């Protein structure tokens, strides 16, 4: 273990690689678990480590042999049960950074920008110092965060253990998760306390929040959307894929869903209302109304530009649906599809009309889920066109939408047999390490 007196700054520790004694990487530090005691300084009891599969697990500091620049070395014992924060625990990065504290000498307040923990001769890790930025009064007595920065002992401030909404801003936490993909950020949000989750969600822009909501369990989606101001909630729904927005609205009380639909832009609301009319386990209920739809005279170069859209899933980007005008669903007559691989093999100036695969299987909006699943599996397709009686394209069902409905509702949270097992050894008494 690092020698007694070694000082580690928590914010800098976040993101550090965790290795076993053989030098193999087992995860990455995402947070530090603290116990804020009524008397005395806070004690650090463990690390929240993200392991492959985006699972966050608890690593007791008693199982850490070294904390050095750029790495944490563990004993190799790591319990793979998902970390669940206990009522008396506080997450340093998620809950304390940017929290306002007051100086005991009455000289004002400050915001926490980092915490320093030190290992004692007993082996315990205690939070001994804070790196803070003083608040400077502005016009009307409002506080502006442009004051000096300084390192203070924990005993020199009060309010470290304050709880409640607004105790910490979300800016620093968002910065720590800025490079995460939507699914990873959703996983991080799911592991936060309810209060922190809502604070971070409110701080995200509409597009980013829409992407994250699409990756969260339904209960979290409903809780976040319901907590937003009504106009903001409608804006976020507009930024979501229509099928995901329809699924989310379908989980809300009818009055709340109707209110949000009325606040949405008419064109966006129209697509969502159309999807809400279908049963959940049918092609109509599964489909998105916004696949890539183009007329046959479109050049291959232009078609390839369309499939590069950032909002497209890989499944929907795998093919272009070719129809007669109009190109918005419901379209003109559906002609067929052109696969991405085929376009990549042809000259960019050629039109996609000469590459159309017209014998592809189609389904109607009332086709049951299992029929759609069998077609996707039988022909190795990533998406399937949904048409009406006049052969107009209504939308497309992608493989990811089908999987979402085939898997158990709690699949994002459930431990399967392998991930529920211990990765590197047995840790029978985890509770003992958390005081």
Instruction: Please tell me the distance from the alpha carbon of residue 302 to that of residue 307, in angstroms, as a whole number.
Output: 9
Sequential DSSP letters for 36-55: --SSS--EEEEEEEEETTTE
pLDDT for 250 beyond 50 = yes
**Predicted local distance difference test score (pLDDT) of residue 412:** 56
**Is residue 366 scored above 50 in pLDDT?**
yes
> Taking the CA of residue 165 as centre, how many other CA atoms within 13 Å lie in the half-sphere pointing to its CB?
8
**pLDDT band at 162, cuts 50/70/90?**
low
CATH of domain 293-405: 3.10.580.10
CA-to-CA distance for 50 and 190, rounded, in angstroms? 13
DSSP H or E stretch at residue 208: helix 206-213
- CA angle 22-26-27, nearest 5°? 145
State residue 99's pLDDT score: 87
- Between these two residues, 397 and 5, which has the higher pLDDT value? 397
Confidence of residue 139 (pLDDT cuts 50, 70, 90): low
Query: Which carries the bigger pLDDT value, residue 227 or residue 432?
Result: 227
Q: In the predicted model, is pLDDT for residue 431 greater than 70?
A: no
Domain ranges of the chain: 171-277, 293-405
Confidence of residue 138 (pLDDT cuts 50, 70, 90): low
Q: What pTM did the predictor assign?
A: 0.59
Contact 244, 271 (CB under 8 A): no
Q: Is the pLDDT of residue 356 over 90?
A: yes
Given this model, what pLDDT does residue 415 score? 47
pLDDT exceeding 90 applies to what percent of the chain? 58
Closest CA to 256 of 228, 287, 290, 217: 228
* Listed residue (113, 160, 163, 155) closest to 133, CA to CA: 113
Report DSSP state, residue 346.
S
Cβ(356)–Cβ(296) under 8 Å?
A: yes
Q: Which fold has domain 171-277?
A: MgtE N-terminal fold (1.25.60)
427 pLDDT exceeds 50?
A: no
The mean per-residue pLDDT over the stretch 132-136 comes to 91
């Amino acid at each position: 273990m690092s020698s007694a007196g070694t000082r580690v700054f928590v914010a800098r520790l976040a993101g550090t690689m965790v290795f076993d004694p053989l030098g193999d990487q087992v995860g990455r530090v995402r947070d530090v678990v603290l116990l804020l005691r009524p008397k005395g300084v806070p004690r650090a009891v463990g690390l929240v480590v993200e392991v492959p599969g985006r699972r966050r697990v608890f690593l007791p500091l008693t199982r850490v042999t070294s904390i050095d620049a750029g790495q944490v070395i563990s004993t190799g014992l790591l319990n793979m049960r998902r970390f669940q924060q206990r009522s008396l625990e506080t997450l340093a990065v998620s809950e304390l950074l940017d929290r306002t504290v007051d100086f005991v000498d009455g000289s004002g307040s400050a915001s926490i920008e980092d915490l320093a923990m030190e290992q004692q001769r007993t082996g315990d890790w205690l939070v001994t110092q804070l790196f803070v930025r003083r608040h400077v009064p502005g016009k009307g007595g409002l506080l502006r965060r442009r004051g000096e920065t300084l390192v203070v002992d924990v005993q020199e401030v009060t309010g470290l253990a304050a709880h409640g909404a607004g105790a910490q801003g979300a800016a620093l936490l968002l910065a720590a998760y800025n490079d995460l993909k939507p699914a990873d950020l959703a996983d991080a949000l799911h592991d936060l306390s309810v209060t922190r989750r809502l604070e971070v969600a409110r701080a995200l822009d509409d597009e980013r929040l829409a992407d994250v909501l699409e990756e969260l369990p339904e209960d979290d989606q409903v809780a976040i959307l319901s907590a937003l101001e009504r106009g903001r909630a409608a804006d976020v729904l507009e930024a979501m894929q229509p099928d995901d927005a329809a699924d989310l609205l379908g989980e809300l009380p009818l009055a709340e869903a109707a209110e949000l639909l009325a606040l949405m832009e008419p064109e966006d609301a129209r697509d969502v209302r159309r999807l809400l009319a279908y049963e959940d386990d049918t092609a109509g209920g599964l489909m998105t109304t916004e696949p890539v739809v183009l007329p046959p005279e479109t050049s291959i170069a232009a078609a390839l530009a369309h499939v590069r859209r950032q909002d497209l899933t890989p499944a929907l980007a795998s093919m272009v649906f070719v129809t007669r005008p109009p190109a918005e669903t419901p379209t003109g007559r559906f002609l067929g599809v052109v696969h991405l691989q085929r376009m990549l093999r042809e000259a960019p100036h050629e039109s996609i009309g000469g590459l159309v695969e017209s014998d592809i299987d189609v389904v109607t909006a009332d086709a049951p889920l299992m029929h759609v699943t069998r077609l996707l599996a039988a022909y190795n397709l990533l998406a399937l066109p949904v048409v009406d009686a006049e052969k107009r394209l209504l939308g497309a069902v992608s493989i990811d939408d089908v999987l979402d409905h085939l898997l158990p509702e709690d699949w994002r949270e459930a431990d399967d047999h392998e991930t529920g097992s211990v990765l590197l050894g047995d840790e029978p008494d985890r509770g003992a390490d958390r005081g």
